[in-house]
Amino acid sequence: MTQPGSERRVALVTGGSRGIGRAIAVALARDGYRVALNYRTRADEAAQVVNAIAAAGGEARAFAADLAVAGDCRSLIAQTLGALQRIDVLVNNAGIALHGVRLADIPAGDWERVLRVNVDAPFHLVQAVLPHMRARGSGHIVNLSSNVTNRVPAGGGVYAVSKAALEAFTRILAKEEGANGIRVNAVGPGPIRTDMLAEAMQRMGPERAEAFIRSVPMGRMGEPEEIAAMVTFLVSDAASYVTGQVIFVNGGGPGN
């Protein structure tokens, strides 16, 4: 039975206004979580997610934060705890990409911003939420990586580096926090029907994009809801002995 008020579990999903983040927020709300979702500039889209969750009988709040700023990361945790009194699940979904640029040609500012959002933000968010989770003796952290760490394609340098770092962060954190009742895992999506993939395929051109999708053994793009299903599994009791894992949801490839 779902418990009222502050006894109901809370999940914080970064980058929750669209795509995979939206699907995760909706799925967790459906599982009975009160959901805090973060956005940077898409206030209208975040409000739509909040309203959709409310219309289905759930509870959600949206909080603006620029995760490239360490202080915003810490403030996001504080705001969520202040509004909802607890955080049981942290999903580090927000991420940015830079594709089609050789490592030697990446402007330093672009390199630094990708790493700040994709690596530094999860670090700051985890550091801010861990005291709360440790005090409760339980917690779940799920980091969104990418199948790019299998493929390591030319031209995908800083994004691949950032996600490889996030996977190492996941494995180490799981070892360090397991005794505190905190499980930490990562999900590595393959080609998922999102704005980011659409932009990448547009850069490829029709022929290369079609060949890319054909290279997936299952022969199709994945859907955001398929990533959300893996996240909800990982934070459930059914995955109670699963920690320190990077699970690829990628249709069998490409890159495996």
Structure tokens, 119? 């690596």
12: β partners: 36, 90
Q: State the residue for tokens 């659409």.
A: 198
pLDDT value at residue 1: 33
Neighbours of 115 (CB within 10 A): 18
Q: How many CB atoms lie within 10 A of CB 4?
A: 7
Sequence-distant (6+) residues with CB within 8 A of 208 are none
Question: What is the reported pLDDT for 2?
Answer: 43
Residue 211 is predicted with a pLDDT of 80
Give the H/E segment covering residue 132.
helix 121-136
What does the pLDDT profile of the chain (256 residues) look like in tens digits?
A: 344 556 799 999 999 999 999 999 999 999 999 999 999 999 999 999 999 999 999 999 999 999 999 999 999 999 999 999 999 999 999 999 988 899 999 999 999 999 999 999 999 999 999 999 999 999 999 999 999 999 888 888 999 999 999 999 999 999 999 999 999 999 999 988 877 777 777 777 888 778 878 888 898 889 999 999 999 999 999 999 999 999 999 999 865 4
Contact in structure between 151 and 159 (CB atoms under 8 Å): no
* CATH number listed for the domain at residues 5-249: 3.40.50.720
Q: Confirm whether 159 is a catalytic residue.
A: yes
Beta-strand runs (E) in 153-232: 182-189
As beta bridge partners, residue 10 has: 34
Q: What is the pLDDT of residue 216?
A: 87
Find the angle CA(39)-CA(231)-CA(70) to the nearest 5 degrees. Answer: 35
Catalytic entry in 33, 39, 159, 241: 159
- Whose tokens are 């209208």? That residue is 44
The helix/strand count (H/E) of the chain reads as 10, 7
Tell me, what's the pLDDT at 256? 44
pLDDT of residue 255: 55
Indicate the helix (H) or strand (E) that contains 38: strand 34-39
Write phi, then psi, for 102 (nearest 5 degrees).
-65, 150
Amino acid type, 223 = E
Which element (helix H / strand E) includes 91?
A: strand 89-92
Q: Report the SS3 class of residue 251.
A: coil
pLDDT at residue 254, rounded to an integer: 61
Number of Cβ within 10 Å of residue 87's Cβ equals 23
Distance, in Å, from the CA atom of 71 to the CA atom of 125, rounded to the nearest integer, reads 10
Give me 227's structure tokens: 């990533």
Amino acid at 232: T
Q: Are 188 and 247 in contact (CB under 8 A)?
A: yes
